[in-house]
Chain A
Amino acid sequence: MLIEIAHVSLILTLMLSLIQFSIPLIGAKHGWINWMKLSDTTAFLQFVLTCFGFFILMRAFIISDFTVKLVALNSHTMKPLIYKITGTWGNHEGSMLLWILILNFYGFLITIFGTRLPAELKCRVLSVQGLISAAFLGFLLFTSNPFARELAPPIDGNGLNPVLQDLGLAFHPPFLYLGYVGLSVTFSFAVAALLQGKIDSSWARWVRPWALSAWMFLTVGIALGSYWAYYELGWGGWWFWDPVENASFMPWLASTALLHSAAVVEKRNTLKSWTILLSILAFSFSLVGTFIVRSGVLTSVHAFASDPSRGVYLLIIVFLFILFALSLYAARFSSIKSVNQFAFFSRESGLVLNNLLLSVAALIVFIGTLWPLIVETLFNEKISVGAPFFELAFTPFIILLALLLPIGIILPWKRGKVANLKSNLLTVAILSVISGSAVWSFQTGGRILAPIGASLSVWIVLGSLFDIVKRIKLFEVTLLNSLKRLTKLPRGDLGRFVAHMGFGLMIFGVSAVSAWEIEDIRVAKLNEPYQVEDYTIQLTQVSEFAKFNYITRQGVILVKIGDDIITTLFPEKRFYPIQITSTTEASIHSNIFRDIYVVLGDNKSQDFWVVRTYIKPFILWIWLGASMIALGGIISLTDRRYRLAMFM
């Protein structure tokens, strides 16, 4: 019965979303306050009802209510409780419901944090949100109803996929969705502004916190997903240029550009129409991403069972939203005037370049991701676009971006002087070239990538530090005074500093691991040590034991340098008898200099085992950098001017 009530509550939400779309919009047009006010109520009710539906579904998963088809297919009585809960969104229907829940959560947040917004703008924003909600609720209810009943409920359920029983995997979709769907808010703000025909710096001040939070969650989601792939897939790769990864990366690139261009609108009230376009594009990428992931049209390690009718419905939604927003943009383009000018050497120009580079990078990812679809449609030839394509076409633009960054942050708004630039950054430039050459001479052979990466990394880190040092007048005034200045810095600037430092560290991590990683695969004899680089690896024992719902075969591997024991690693191979599948669990010893990553393979005989060892220098810096980037976003969010814009 509860299940049917939950189903009805979603149908009600659909009605509410249609009301939220239409009535306040008409109200805003005619200035009828009461009609406009309606959207606060509907947004709140939508959120409550979707929550109700979602938690009833979660309850069905927890109590293993197999009369619900979705639960019967995707859960199992033997599943640990935590995976029963996360299983709620570990399938197509549930994850779409989560998508809608988060969308309506953001709608609700707009009513809370938007009390300072002009009433007309707010109700138009909520109206667009209502339309998005309606489209996706329609998709959910008509093509992927999570509450469909199972007429012959099984006793144990069918979903115990061991690969999906992993915390990293279970928790990265909510973060990704908080990011993906969060971009709907900036989209709605852009469309609302176009409908109103009024965009100024206060608009940017309202939009930027939303863009920042969405971008921050997206960063966390992508980093979590990448870390999961790293330790779970068993061969130590951390980014695969897989369509589903790209689907989250495109909105990330676009929203990164958006953050930077919105800064220009906020500070200088220029670059407005471009910022509007980016807000539209960022969410369009989210929509395209949702389509790629949910329709299963592209081969991906992430893909789930797909159903063509869903793909078509989604494609229509995605197409209509993008078409609608872009036509509105084209129609209103000329009414958006940017008045302020800037010189060629200025912060504004730097940010324009940043935006161009990020957009081109996003375009390349977009083309590479969709190319197989295009080729198959046009030439009926099946192809896939792999990592070599992206590495070659994408990397140059990121290198350019990295080169520009320290110059951009040191340039003043409006007009800068080339001479100032030289005197400020010459030392930093020399230092980074020196560190690059040091790395170059230090490595024997190896790829050119590592010295370039090291130089860029030092360039960004020192460049960012230099900016801060100058701002707090370190060494010019007393240390105490400098610290005081540091705490007085606007949080936005501090956040920018932290995020840029993170980007610098990440570049080093990426280039170091791709240039210097070492891979060793061999059949190892028990207790016979062998060398991998400086490390002595010794497989001392392999034993089997039964765990909760699997049997594990665990190796014990001693890692030494000379006679010093560095660590003991326990790679596993798990066998899940109910599913007749096995999973490989790598064992990793991490520190900031390198990861030692071992995997136990099959056995040739009692004493001979396949062992894979990877030494991954500085790989932790990738996620360290990503965390700092996200942290920078959080710090910026606490900036005083956003608090003022929201609450006072």
Chain B
Amino acid sequence: MLNRKRKRVKLILLGLTLLIVSAVLIGYAMKDGIEFFKSPSEIVRDPPAFGKRFRIGGLVSFNSVKVLNDGSVSFQITDNSSAIEVHFSGVLPDLFAENQGVIASGTLKNENLFFADEVLAKHDENYMPKELVDSLKERGVYVGPIEK
């Protein structure tokens, strides 16, 4: 019986060790793995450190999408009061379009230029990323899905 208990204690200790290791790893990974969400106005008001990863969300400005010489794409993300220029060298999502909601994640190169390595757009006609809806609502420029 004593042996049984000892074994159980051993197992529990092992489980605890693993949990502690995972907690430490989680804490450590959170430092790099987390991205904050900001709107263009927030960035202009209080620019994050250059090189720190975060997400920016808003609408793609009308007539702002251009293909650059190196094959990457440039466009502006706006929340109708400020705008940030975004450069992106990946493949734009299929539902990416001007005047549509978009979220880009990456780092700030200088105060007005954002280098994105991922761009999310709407997945279907009615869907918009939640952060974006909230942020657009705050600024009063949100137009809900059209009731069909």
Contacts and interface: CB of A to CB of B under 8 A. Distances in A.
A297 interface: yes
B46 interface: no
A389 B127 CA distance: 26
Name the interface size band of chain B: 35 or more
A344 B10 contact: yes
Interface in A221-271: 233-235
A158 B15 contact: no
Contacts of A476: none
Contacts of B10: 344
B113 interface: no
A301 B10 CA distance: 43
Query: Is chain B's interface secondary structure helix, strand, loop, or mixed overall?
Result: mixed
Given A235-B90, A304-B126, A393-B29, A341 B7 contact: yes
A389 B34 contact: yes
Contacts, number: 154
A529 interface: no
B32 A392 contact: yes
B69 interface: yes
Contacts of B28: 392-393
A302 B70 contact: no
A582 interface: yes
A397 B91 contact: no
A182 to B, nearest CB: 27
Interface in B76-96: 89-91, 93-95
B140 interface: no
Contact of A601 (B29, B71, B95, B130): B71
Contacts of B72: 521
Interface residues of A, number: 64
Contact of B22 (A235, A393, A612): A393
A162 B94 contact: yes
A542 to B, nearest CB: 15
Given A303-B127, A604-B67, A368 B91 contact: no
Contacts of B91: 233-235, 584, 599, 601, 612
B90 A382 contact: no
A384 B34 contact: yes
A396 B94 contact: no
B129 to A, nearest CB: 4
B45 interface: no
Interface in A376-400: 381-393, 396-397
A277 interface: no
A448 interface: no
B49 interface: no
Contacts of B18: 356-357, 360, 397
Interface in B11-28: 11, 14-15, 18-19, 21-22, 25-26, 28
A234 B94 CA distance: 9
B134 interface: yes
A583 B34 contact: no
A389 B29 contact: yes
A383 B32 CA distance: 12
Indicate the member of B53, B105, B131, B134 with the most A CB atoms within 10 Å. Answer: B131
A73 B148 contact: yes
Given A356-B18, A392-B28, A601-B91, 12 more contacts: A299-B103, A304-B123, A306-B127, A381-B36, A383-B35, A385-B35, A389-B32, A389-B34, A396-B25, A521-B70, A522-B71, A604-B69
Interface of A: 72-73, 154, 158, 161-164, 233-235, 296-299, 301-306, 341, 344, 352-353, 356-357, 360, 363-364, 367-368, 371, 381-393, 396-397, 521-523, 579, 581-584, 599, 601-604, 610-612
Question: Which 3 residue pairs are nearest across A and B when measured between Cβ atoms?
Answer: A389-B33, A305-B126, A382-B37
13 contacts: A298-B130, A303-B129, A306-B130, A353-B14, A356-B18, A382-B37, A385-B34, A389-B33, A391-B29, A393-B29, A521-B72, A581-B94, A603-B67
